[in-house]
């Protein structure tokens, strides 16, 4: 009978992960064997409003509820069942940003996302004060910049959180988050597994603000994040079929869920997430030196992680594919968007290793690694460049990784950080081999992509919820993932050849040399 698969599965052993990404909100339901059994999604986009990259709270609410409704419909179609309960729920979202509330729960300022580069003064001063790199997108940089700007709302802040923290609060009534997400708000002491006390005190001395009174509480992976309240159930499922009382895992950020989804939470493992933004996460044995290009965050268990984060990755590629789609439509051709991406990505493999003299900058927004406050997407060529479709596409794929490569070189060459395993995940790797080969050419090391890589962050969040639900006493997250989730996982590993590596190096040399042109474009255009 239709629905027999779900009937044979104990719903109380399933886990639901929902992640609010930059361009898509996605929900993934996994069974007790950690296999995805249903999903739902909702596409959305950020808006540039009065110079601020933001999403309205109406868009957040609509997107979350629509995503969950799509999941319910998927369960209904596949199994003929109404989704009324699950074993555990976990929510994640793009990290960092600024969401302040007063004591009555009123939002005091627009949601300022990770994409903003408007906190340069605050980030520089706090980095000097703490002796610790504070990136512009971190919550504490946004708060201090608002103070420096004399913004009226600051005096009324009773709770400061992130997008994931906000959703978790709405679902459970709890003002808390996972340690990985918290590490993008304020620096963490990885020995005490809490906010760094010395830095909290320095900030209090500087501003008179006791951050402990307004920051979320911290929980580790596997600990309880509360339970779904009646109000939370109606918030997620306005139709009213979802039951309250479901355990909720501590919310996490997309960095943490990416680590979990690729089994990259053990020391000397790493992963690269590549979508609207891209970032590399390397779990380190100790904190490296202070570099503006390197952020220090943590795994969901609190281990130190060196992070190279780039604001821009695939947005420019998406824009060009949209243009090709429009051209195909004009010519009366039916071109499904997914097939267009696949064909164009594969075409890049035919391009010259150094892109035939072509060059592009994928900067839709500013980029901290290359010290740009604003971005201008730009494509460049000389009269004698080999302007072919293959070279054109390869140029945009290498451009998407160029800034990441600049940051990673500091980590691996200057700091001598060792990486035993590197995994790729996100939309950039959806077409088999292509993105994987380009990243391997960039880092000069083998890159693996798991079969589940396409599930990404929401799958990682579902695994964190499952870990909370199923872990044995004393079982670490690292062991749980290695032994119970990924022991038999299928993955492909690829190493770029010497010509690919040399071609990327040649491309990057041109890229670095002409960065002043990109900076001038931002100033003049």
Instruction: List, as one string, the DSSP characters of 172-237.
Output: HS--EEEHHHHTTTS-EETTTTEE-HHHHHHHHHHHS--GGGTSPEEE-TTS---B--HHHHHHH-
CA distance 38 to 320: 31
More confident of the two residues 190 and 1: 190
Residues in the chain: 525
Residues of the chain with CATH 3.30.420.40: 9-262, 315-452+495-524
Question: Is residue 173 within 8 Å of residue 166, measured between CB atoms?
Answer: no
Question: Is residue 461 within 8 Å of residue 90, measured between CB atoms?
Answer: yes
Q: Cα separations (Å) of 104 from 171, 210, 381?
A: 17, 19, 56
Question: Is residue 168 within 8 Å of residue 176, measured between CB atoms?
Answer: yes
| pTM for the predicted model, two decimal places | 0.83
Residue 2 has a pLDDT of: 43
For 140-192, write each residue's pLDDT tens digit: 999 999 999 999 999 999 999 999 999 999 999 999 999 999 999 999 998 99
Instruction: Write down the CATH superfamily of domain 9-262.
Output: ATPase, nucleotide binding domain (3.30.420.40)
Residue 1 has a pLDDT of: 35
More confident of the two residues 189 and 413: 189
Residue 473 has a pLDDT of: 95
The CA-based angle 280-498-426, given to 5 degrees, is: 30
Residue 8 has a pLDDT of: 54
Q: Which of 255-269, 349-363, 390-404 bottoms out in mean pLDDT, i.e. has the lowest?
A: 255-269
Residue 279 has a pLDDT of: 85
To which H or E segment does residue 52 belong? strand 52-54
Question: Is residue 74 within 8 Å of residue 39, measured between CB atoms?
Answer: yes
Q: Is the dihedral of CA 209, 210, 216, 222 positive or negative?
A: positive
Q: Is the pLDDT of residue 300 over 80?
A: yes
Residue 229 backbone dihedrals phi, psi, to 5 degrees: -85, 170
Q: Which pLDDT band, with edges at 50, 70 and 90, does 130 fall under?
A: very high
Instruction: For residue 457, count CB atoms less than 10 angstroms from its CB and return exposed for 0-12, middle for 13-18, buried for 19 or more.
Output: buried
* Residues contacting residue 412 through CB under 8 Å, at least 6 positions apart: 419, 443
Which two three-digit tokens encode residue 432? 């088999």
- CATH node for 315-452+495-524: 3.30.420.40
- Mean pLDDT of all residues belonging to the chain: 93
Residue 3 has a pLDDT of: 45
Residue 433 backbone dihedrals phi, psi, to 5 degrees: 75, -40
For 241-299, write each residue's pLDDT tens digit: 999 999 999 999 998 998 999 899 999 889 998 888 888 999 988 888 889 889 999 99
Residue 421, Cα to own-chain centre: how many angstroms?
Answer: 19
Residue 287 has a pLDDT of: 82
CA distance 477 to 222: 8
For 3-49, write each residue's pLDDT tens digit: 445 455 677 889 999 999 988 999 999 999 999 999 999 999 999 99
Question: Is residue 483 within 8 Å of residue 234, measured between CB atoms?
Answer: no
CA distance 231 to 211: 28
């Amino acid at each position: 009978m239709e629905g027999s698969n779900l009937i044979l599965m104990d719903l109380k052993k399933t886990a639901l992960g929902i992640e609010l990404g930059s361009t898509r909100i996605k929900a993934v339901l996994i069974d007790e064997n950690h296999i995805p059994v249903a999903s739902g999604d909702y596409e959305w986009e950020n808006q540039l409003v009065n110079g601020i990259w933001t999403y309205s709270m109406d868009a957040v609410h609509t997107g979350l509820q629509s995503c969950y409704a799509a999941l319910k419909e998927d369960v209904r179609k596949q199994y003929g069942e109404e989704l009324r309960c699950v074993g555990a729920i976990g929510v994640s979202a793009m990290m960092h940003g600024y969401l302040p509330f007063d004591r009555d729960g009123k939002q005091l300022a627009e949601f300022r996302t990770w994409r903003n580069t408007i906190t340069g003064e605050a980030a520089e001063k706090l980095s000097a004060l703490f002796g610790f790199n504070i990136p512009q997108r971190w919550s504490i940089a946004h708060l201090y910049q608002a103070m420096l700007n004399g913004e009226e709302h600051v005096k009324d802040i009773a709770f400061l959180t992130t997008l994931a923290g906000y959703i978790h609060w709405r679902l459970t009534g709890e003002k808390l988050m996972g340690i990985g997400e918290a590490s993008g708000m304020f620096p963490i002491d990885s020995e005490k597994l809490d906010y760094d006390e010395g830095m909290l005190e320095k900030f209090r001395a500087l501003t008179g603000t006791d951050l402990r009174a307004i920051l979320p509480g911290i929980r580790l992976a596997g600990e309880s994040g509360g339970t779904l309240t009646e109000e939370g159930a109606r918030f997620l499922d306005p139709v009213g079929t979802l039951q309250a009382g479901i355990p909720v895992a501590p919310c996490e950020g997309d960095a943490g869920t990416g680590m979990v989804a690729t089994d990259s939470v053990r020391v000397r493992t790493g992963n690269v997430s590549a979508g609207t933004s891209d970032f590399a996460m390397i779990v380190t044995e100790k904190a490296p030196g202070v570099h503006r290009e390197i952020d220090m965050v943590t795994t969901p268990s609190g281990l130190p992680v060196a992070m190279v984060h780039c604001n821009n990755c695939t947005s420019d590629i998406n824009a060009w594919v949209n243009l090709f789609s429009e051209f195909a439509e004009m010519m009366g051709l039916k071109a499904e968007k997914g097939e267009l991406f696949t064909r164009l990505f594969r075409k890049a493999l035919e391009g010259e290793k150094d892109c035939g003299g072509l060059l592009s900058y994928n900067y839709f927004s500013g980029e901290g690694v290359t010290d740009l406050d604003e971005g201008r997407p730009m494509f460049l060529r000389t009269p004698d460049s080999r302007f072919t479709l293959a070279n054109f596409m390869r140029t945009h794929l290498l451009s998407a990784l160029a800034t990441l490569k600049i940051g990673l070189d500091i980590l691996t060459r200057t700091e001598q950080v060792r990486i035993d395993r590197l995994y790729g995940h996100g939309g950039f790797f959806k077409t088999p081999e292509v993105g994987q080969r380009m990243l391997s050419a960039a880092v000069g090391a083998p890159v693996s992509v798991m079969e589940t890589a396409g599930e990404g962050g929401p799958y990682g969040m579902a695994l964190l919820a499952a870990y909370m639900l199923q872990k044995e006493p004393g079982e670490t997250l690292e062991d749980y993932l290695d032994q119970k989730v990924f022991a038999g996982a299928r993955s492909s590993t690829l190493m770029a050849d010497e010509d690919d590596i040399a071609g990327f190096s040649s491309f990057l040399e041109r890229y670095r040399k002409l960065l002043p042109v990109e900076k001038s474009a931002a100033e003049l255009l």
